[in-house]
Structure 1
Amino acid sequence: MTDVVDRSDFVQSLREFAKRECGTKEQRDRLSSDGQVTHNQELYDKVVELGWAGCGIPTEYGGGGGSASDVCALVEEMSYGLAPLYGMVITLVSATVVERFGNEDQKRDILGGVTRGDVLATAISEPSSGSDPGSMICRAERDGDNYVINGQKTWISCAHIAKRIQVLCRTDDSGSKHDGITMIDVPAEAEGLTIRPIRTLGGDEVNEVYFDNVTVGADRVIGDPGKAWQQIMRTLNTDRLMCGAMFLGRARRIFDDTVEYVRTREQFGRPIGSFQAIRHRIADLATELECCRLLVRDLAAKLDADPERCEPREASMVKLKVTETAKRMAIEGMQLLGGAGYTKDHDMELHLRESIVSTVYAGTSEIQREIIGKSYGL
């Protein structure tokens, strides 16, 4: 499917913003505390001022409207520009759940907050339930007009900077493991909620979140009680598309940085990119990158045509292909840059640190292959 909408002016504005705000290594190091901070609120505030934080959010809730392709363009270009705005990506995905399943009051409150710069997080994984989230045990008990939450969540992206966390809790054990799960909107400052960072190679990305008799009103349930599994399955496809857009931008940047280096680095009296062994590796990477671009564009265009369309096979293909390609790009880039790629003076070491885990979160590559294979009746 071909996307015929001309968004070239929007893309150009995004590129100019990224170049102005984080176009130099010095700017990026300052904004990211030398590559350890993945979300800079000062930079995000500028995105908010431009109205881009509301990209994809309906105008009646304060957003700027826009299609899946518009949101993908925003995410891709900020990723290409190495803008530390990871919280923006997580927020846009989390906002999709509220837009689809929240009531009007929740949409005005939560989505309106997003357009003003609030960061959202979604808590699904637990120590004993990662790739199998249906086995979660974090529990919310109904107590009159409230729910009381107890348990632990882990690997929660951006919980440490979020204003509110959308928590999946078990509220009923009477059905299958995928029934009786409820999504509850929990303020990050709620009494009894503790957030602890998990130290990672990529910096301050993920957290453990503990709930000790955290009490919130029943009006904070998003969607139907006990039906959160079905809700989250529908929005995981958007999550995987956004992940694809983010790492498409990263893969493009890795490729460009690598090509620039092999064009200018000389050994044996000639640029190293002129050697056939390296030329052919670049050709292979360029071809893989184009495949990723077409996958992302095609799925986004399908969602533009029908936002309710569920494309689990295609979404998993996007997540699998783009993240595996970005990881390969970073490994190849490191090899082709040699020692230079291993130093803090070059972005390649950051590319490697941030790409290597992309095949793990939002559903591992193994899980994506399972989804794709099962879609063929296997």
Structure 2
Amino acid sequence: MPRALTDERRDLVAAVADFCRRECGTKEQRDKLTENGREPHNQRLYEKMADLGWLGIAIPEEHGGAGLGMVDLCLFLEESSYGLAPISGFGTTIITAAAYEKFGTEEQKRAVLGGVVRGRVEAVSMSEPGAGSDVGALTCRADKVDGGYVINGQKTWCSNAHFADHVLLIARTSRDEGKHGGLTQFMVPADAEGLRISGIETMGGREVNDLYFTDCFLPDSAVVGVPGQGWAQLMAGLNLERMILAALMLGVARRAFDDTLAYVRQREQFGRPIGSFQALKHRIADMAVELECARLLLDDVAATIDANPGKVFAREASMAKLKCTELAKHFALEGMQMLGGYGYATEYGMESLLRSAVVSTVYGGTSEIQRDIIGKTYGL
């Protein structure tokens, strides 16, 4: 079903699609941009998008952005993901920028939000070796000293910190307020003395990092928002984080569907295209229905968020994240099966989509956590 988009939004989608076809539309182009898949972010391509104004799509106009809403942001994310643009730094950048927009000082906003528009990358660090889904269990300490704080501890799974300008750190400043109290957000320069960034090798290339803080001093001006209110500030950004991940994975799901459909149409066995066999035809039909459901869900939640600024839609955003990430994983697995041996060949790209999709059901809150959140909204 065609989307009911304004002319401006149709033009945006078309422009992003055309850009991706020209700049990264072939495997040869993508291999060159990503060092054969090892580096999922290409800064040169990223800055080209910044020059076109796309990276500032959700940044307020006073900081050089377009000041648009969730619908427009999701359209850009979905289309750039569908086009396989290697700009992995954008998701964490926008999530982080929103925290500064809500809680940062004017100086912090100028540095971060203005940087986003120019093509700079930001990172956010919550997880620790002993605190993943249970963020309230984090132990990285920020001890108050004269003029600032001293940070000690380890963080892990921090996406894009190795090429970011800053890391938005969530650390514990107190244990007096209970598990979710006493958390504070800090703006940490990526080259801060006392911070060591160490890459974690994964099947998706170099994207995540361990962070080691050893007597890292941060001035009082590094605090983002109110000391001790980090948990509440994190909760205020849940809509955005989940919707970003949902939109990215809807793009992956679309790509997996279209690539699979193209293959089963042209691949012949037993004298006819394999897509004409009922076993595959029905699987394609089911995938088409599920893709349409996911798109309608994402579009509706994005429009609802735009119509109700400042309101947290925990149930709906979790539904969108759960549906789109699980769908991307399912579609990539279906594509692997229907492509047969070619599904495993890097030439066809389905294995790359699978690597992207599998991890999406873990980061940003696992699928199990999303289901738990949704269940709680029904009083369970």
Taking structure 1 as the reference length, what is the TM-score of the superposition? 0.98
Name the structure 1 match of 2:378: 376
2:93 corresponds to 1:84: no
Match of 1:338 among 340, 345, 348: 340
Return the offset for 1:173: 0.9
User: Do the aligned partners of residues 328 and 65 (structure 1) sit closer, same or farther apart at CA in structure 2, a change above 3 Å counting?
Assistant: same
User: Do the aligned partners of residues 33 and 145 (structure 1) sit closer, same or farther apart at CA in structure 2, a change above 3 Å counting?
Assistant: same
Match of 2:192 among 190, 193, 208: 190
8 Å contact 1:96–1:235 — kept in the other structure? yes
Name the structure 2 match of 1:271: 273
Match of 1:310 among 288, 295, 312: 312
Alignment of 1:283-362 (within 5 A): 283-362=285-364
8 Å contact 1:3–1:301 — kept in the other structure? no
8 Å contact 1:28–1:34 — kept in the other structure? yes
Q: For residue 349 of structure 1, what is the amino acid of its counterpart?
A: E
Return the offset for 1:277: 0.6
Name the SS of the counterpart of 1:57 in structure 2: coil
Return the offset for 1:34: 1.4
Name the structure 2 match of 1:57: 59
Name the SS of the counterpart of 2:348 in structure 1: coil
Aligned equivalents of 1:347 and 1:3: distance in 2?
31
Q: For residue 72 of structure 1, what is the amino acid of its counterpart?
A: C
Aligned equivalents of 1:210 and 1:9: distance in 2?
44
Could you list the per-position Cα deviations for residues 148-173 of structure 1 after superposition, in whole angstroms to 9, with x for gaps in the alignment?
11101001111111110000010011
Could you list the per-position Cα deviations for residues 77-122 of structure 1 after superposition, in whole angstroms to 9, with x for gaps in the alignment?
1100001101011101111111111122211121111111110000
Return the offset for 1:307: 2.1
2:253 corresponds to 1:256: no
Q: For residue 43 of structure 1, what is the amino acid of its counterpart?
A: L
Aligned equivalents of 1:41 and 1:60: distance in 2?
25
Structure 2 unmatched ranges of 5 or more: none
Q: Name the % identity.
A: 55
Alignment of 1:92-103 (within 5 A): 92-103=94-105
Q: For residue 335 of structure 1, what is the amino acid of its counterpart?
A: Q
Match of 2:26 among 24, 27, 30: 24
Q: For residue 117 of structure 1, what is the amino acid of its counterpart?
A: G
8 Å contact 2:238–2:312 — kept in the other structure? no
Return the offset for 1:287: 0.9
2:179 corresponds to 1:177: yes
Q: For residue 340 of structure 2, what is the amino acid of its counterpart?
A: G
Aligned equivalents of 2:313 and 2:111: distance in 1?
29
Name the structure 2 match of 1:227: 229
Aligned equivalents of 1:140 and 1:356: distance in 2?
34
Q: For residue 261 of structure 2, what is the amino acid of its counterpart?
A: V
Q: For residue 173 of structure 1, what is the amino acid of its counterpart?
A: R
Aligned equivalents of 2:164 and 2:29: distance in 1?
24
Could you list the per-position Cα deviations for residues 298-338 of structure 1 after superposition, in whole angstroms to 9, with x for gaps in the alignment?
11101111221210001111111111110000000000000
Name the SS of the counterpart of 1:34 in structure 2: coil
Q: For residue 79 of structure 1, what is the amino acid of its counterpart?
A: S
Name the structure 1 match of 2:119: 117
Q: For residue 149 of structure 2, what is the amino acid of its counterpart?
A: Y
Aligned equivalents of 2:179 and 2:202: distance in 1?
31
Aligned equivalents of 1:116 and 1:144: distance in 2?
35
Could you list the per-position Cα deviations for residues 219-247 of structure 1 after superposition, in whole angstroms to 9, with x for gaps in the alignment?
11111110010111110221000000000
Aligned equivalents of 1:307 and 1:346: distance in 2?
42
Match of 1:15 among 6, 14, 17: 17
Match of 2:148 among 143, 146, 165: 146
User: Do the aligned partners of residues 317 and 81 (structure 1) sit closer, same or farther apart at CA in structure 2, a change above 3 Å counting?
Assistant: same
8 Å contact 1:3–1:297 — kept in the other structure? no
Return the offset for 1:35: 1.6
Aligned equivalents of 1:156 and 1:4: distance in 2?
35
Name the SS of the counterpart of 2:359 in structure 1: coil
8 Å contact 2:343–2:351 — kept in the other structure? yes
Could you list the per-position Cα deviations for residues 226-272 of structure 1 after superposition, in whole angstroms to 9, with x for gaps in the alignment?
00101111102210000000000010000000000000000000000
Name the SS of the counterpart of 1:357 in structure 2: helix
Structure 1 unmatched ranges of 5 or more: none
8 Å contact 1:139–1:169 — kept in the other structure? yes
Return the offset for 1:3: 7.0
Aligned equivalents of 1:18 and 1:86: distance in 2?
14
Q: For residue 77 of structure 2, what is the amino acid of its counterpart?
A: V
Aligned equivalents of 2:96 and 2:107: distance in 1?
17
Aligned equivalents of 1:36 and 1:319: distance in 2?
26
Taking structure 2 as the reference length, what is the TM-score of the superposition? 0.97
Return the offset for 1:195: 0.5
Q: For residue 105 of structure 1, what is the amino acid of its counterpart?
A: E
